[in-house]
Amino acid sequence: MAHEVLTPPTRPLPKGKISYERFLEWLDDDTWAEWVDGEVELMSPVSMQHDSVHVFLVAVLHAYVSTRRLGEIHSEPFQMKTGSDLPGRSPDILFVSNEHLHRLRSTHLDGPADLVVEIVSAESAERDRVQKFREYERGGVREYWLIDPEKRLAEFYQLGEDGRYERIFAGGEGVYHSAVLSGFWLRVEWLWQQPPITDILREWGLV
């Protein structure tokens, strides 16, 4: 996530450490935050570059998932809690397959998403590449995408049988095939070129 200036919450921050349940009660639709080590970490406004890639990728994934009826796409600030002893995060984008829709609650995803996408900035690089990488790996997120609009670089990781992430593809162009989204493939350069969604659907043979 590309966060630059903290967004002030609409209500005072809770004092001291709080439970995740208390955090969800405190959180509202206008406050973007995550729960880490019992404390509230506020998110901040994203750059135009970040937002452009985010909007495009949500549209692409939603078009594919809804057409193929594979599950549901959700995006920040919707919460995900991958494990009882792991932080509560709000990924930029997450996909939940039909098989795991029972994990969805009204306020959060109770368990790992099948796929998580984080859009990286200089400010969020360590959090996305180190902290969240380890959390999502440990929590069982089957596929993790790291998209860096500034460097025009995309990295795609898939969870191996040993429970560790394996980098399947990295680069600024080329074709990536998802292991989680049945039949899905992506031209990485689409992330930077952002062609019309109808053109992409046509390449996929869905229209």
Backbone angles phi and psi of 176, in degrees to 5? -115, 135
Domains and CATH numbers, the chain: 46-204 (3.90.1570.10)
Residues 137-155, mean pLDDT to the nearest whole number: 97
Report the SS3 class of residue 121.
Answer: coil
Bond before 87 cis per omega within 30 degrees: no
Q: Check residue 1 and give its pLDDT.
A: 43
Does 5 score more than 50 pLDDT? no
Q: What is the mean pLDDT of the chain?
A: 90
Backbone CA torsion sign across 84, 85, 87, 93: negative
Residues 6+ apart with CB under 8 A from 148: 119, 120, 121, 154
Six token digits for residue 87 = 């932080």
| Per-residue model confidence (pLDDT) at position 22 | 85
State how far the Cα of 26 lies from the Cα of 35, in Å rounded to an integer: 11
Half-sphere exposure of 205 (CA within 13 A, CB side): 3
pLDDT of 93 above 90:
yes
Rounded to an integer, the average pLDDT of 172-199 is 97
Can you give the pTM of this predicted structure?
0.83
Task: Taking residues 164-189, report their average pLDDT.
Answer: 97
DSSP character string of 136-196:
HHHHT-SEEEEEETTTTEEEEEEE-TTS-EEEEEEESSSEEE-SSSTT-EEETTHHHH---
pLDDT higher than threshold 50 for residue 2: no
Burial class (CB in 10 A: 0-12, 13-18, 19+), 186: buried
The pLDDT tens digits of the residues spanning 99-142 come to 999 999 998 999 999 999 999 987 788 889 999 999 999 999 99
pLDDT tens digit string along 78-89? Answer: 999 999 889 999
